[in-house]
Amino acid sequence: MKFSQLERLNFDNQFTQNLPADVNPVNSRRQVRNACYSRVLPTKVTDPKLIAWSREVAELLDLDDDPFATTEAGEVFGGNRVLAGMDPFAMCYGGHQFGNWAGQLGDGRAINLGEVVNSRNRRWTLQLKGAGPTQYSRTADGLAVLRSSVREFLCSEAMSHLGVPTTRALSLVLSGEKVVRDMFYDGNPQRELGAIVCRVAPSFTRFGNFQIFAARGELDVLRQLVDHTIRNDFPHLGAPSAASYAAWFSEICRTTADMLVHWMRVGFVHGVMNTDNMSILGLTIDYGPYGWLENYDPNWTPNTTDASGRRYRFGQQPQIALWNLAQLGQALISLFDTLEPLQAGLDLYSTYFNTECRAMMLGKLGLNVIAGQTETDTALTNDILDVLSPVETDMTIFYRRLAVLPLDGTPDKLDDSVLDALSDAYYLPAQLTEDYRATAIGWLQRYRTRVRLEGISDLERRQRMDAVNPKYVLRNYMAQLAIDKADQGDYSLISELLELLRHPYDEQPNHEEFAGKRPDWARERAGCSMLSCSS
């Protein structure tokens, strides 16, 4: 008998083999003590149908067959079929939500199918999101709807192609079920199409996985989890020891800082930076009410739940990441004889982030770090906010238009016409007052001086800038258009956007409509501006 590629996946489930399991086999909502996970099977659905597939993620798993040729992929990644070697489970973790300790949370709508080791000896965990209730679902149903699943599938892949550290998405499957959701929490629930995303990452371990055991005083389990994580996800640090614990925490701080630098580079706003949504690997995880800055506003959050406090607004994300790392450090205190290694990690985060962010901001302008220019360059990159913030300016478009602004051979004194090249970035041209124009032109003159100091041509500057400033990002209205079509049974725009977002830095003349500003109709429409945590 010939086995399919899915049946030949090589499962090696170290998490369930090496860590303590929930001793109660019943899938009932409860507090789970002294266990890192609970075994649980996905809930079978009536009519699983594969509607989207990432070939790049499939290649990570050594899958290259046409997934649409049979119903097998839909059955497996819709939760109806458990392959030999799979050992499905839900993780136990806690977390701080909006700054407050929330106790046990756990995988309430995520079920890990198992760990696959590919032909290159890379380990990948497969996880279904929206595959039914688990022991950690609390009062929820463990399901997900099509609109949130489309957003997660597309954004996971879009972020990877942007070069942002992220979990990935293999597949999007319609369940054939209807799921009740109150999108606006206003007492008007609706029946929506259910869907399931298969997420893929080396590990889905979060800060909260460690916090829960520290909070409960289950320190033996905490140490087991830390040791397992170092052996499996950080083997280059050596065997678990005081030295490797310190190096491990420092690496978490560094990779988290790296992730935040990338978020700030592309204008991404996560929306729910709770500690249970922070990956131990420095990966962007849990795509809920996220968004990209359209008009540049450091105080913007895409999350309606966060609308009053704006804790997770764009400009505060680096500080929140540091706060979250401090909470993780607090959970790890029992591993150390002194606080110095933990403080060293937090200090590393700040130093590394500031250094890399400064280089990133210069890179967005096509410039390199030059010794002796730190003070002048910091003023230049800080003052660009005076150009972006006072009027509604599309950040993505601004940097792409700045890249083609001619600076070679321009007169010593720039005039008003220089702003014409940036006009596509402005939502409301009437906002361009004389004072604003004077400020913008003054900054552009300083920028030109700095470009000339580096001695780069317009062509080289554009090549540098276009390599780090995307032309295409997954604006919320684009995802909403795909959702609207999918609701009517047309999945073509999901595939079209996936292809578009594979090349976010390239000129794609056939897709210019997606390189423009957010349309006016999307300014306040649900799903296109702010979103709730409901899915």
Give per-residue pLDDT as tens, 224-262.
999 999 999 999 999 999 999 999 999 999 999 999 999
- Both structure tokens of 510: 């056939």
Residue 523 clears pLDDT 90, i.e. is over it: no
Give per-residue pLDDT as tens, 135-194.
999 999 999 999 999 999 999 999 999 999 999 999 999 999 999 988 766 778 889 999
Comparing 332 with 525, the larger pLDDT belongs to 332
CB 291 within 8 A of CB 269: yes
Residue 414 clears pLDDT 80, i.e. is over it: yes
| Mean pLDDT across 500-528 | 93
Complete DSSP assignment for 144-161? -BHHHHHHHHHHHHHHHH
Give per-residue pLDDT as tens, 19-29.
999 999 999 99
d(CA 173, CA 74): 6
Beta bridge partners of 125: 115, 201
138-142, 345-349, 439-443, 528-532, range with the lowest pLDDT: 528-532
Give per-residue pLDDT as tens, 469-496.
999 999 999 999 999 999 999 999 999 9
CB 4 within 8 A of CB 72: yes
In sequence order, which residues have a C-beta less than 8 Å from that of residue 371 and are 6 or more positions away?
Answer: none
Give per-residue pLDDT as tens, 72-88.
999 999 999 999 999 99
For the stretch 342-345, contacts whose Cβ atoms lie closer than 8 Å and that sit 24 or more positions apart, written own/partner, are 342/249, 344/246, 344/250, 345/246, 345/249, 345/250, 345/252, 345/253
- How long a stretch of residues is the chain? 535
81 phi/psi in degrees, rounded to 5: -135, 125
In sequence order, which residues have a C-beta less than 8 Å from that of residue 185 and are 6 or more positions away?
Answer: 532, 534
Segment holding 319, helix H or strand E: helix 317-331
CB 532 within 8 A of CB 304: yes
Positive or negative CA dihedral for 528, 531, 534, 535? positive
| Mean pLDDT across 60-78 | 97
What's the pLDDT score for residue 446? 96
- Active-site residues, by number, are 276
Q: Which amino acid, 482?
A: A
Beta bridge partners of 426: 393
Positive or negative CA dihedral for 310, 313, 316, 317? positive
How does residue 2 score in pLDDT terms, banded at 50, 70 and 90?
Answer: low
513 phi/psi in degrees, rounded to 5: -65, -25
d(CA 368, CA 382): 16
In sequence order, which residues have a C-beta less than 8 Å from that of residue 453 and are 6 or more positions away?
Answer: 370, 373
Classify residue 389 by burial, with Cβ atoms within 10 Å: 0-12, 13-18, 19+: middle
Beta bridge partners of 129: 110, 197
- Both structure tokens of 433: 């007052």
In sequence order, which residues have a C-beta less than 8 Å from that of residue 521 and are 6 or more positions away?
Answer: none
| Mean pLDDT across 268-272 | 98
Across the chain, what does the average pLDDT equal? 95
d(CA 90, CA 270): 23
Residue 342 clears pLDDT 80, i.e. is over it: yes
What's the pLDDT score for residue 1? 42
Percent of the chain with pLDDT over 70: 99
What's the pLDDT score for residue 530? 74
CB 259 within 8 A of CB 165: yes
Beta bridge partners of 194: 145
Give per-residue pLDDT as tens, 86-119.
999 999 999 999 999 999 999 999 999 999 999 9
Helix, strand, coil tally for the chain in percent (to 5): 45, 15, 40
What's the pLDDT score for residue 534? 55
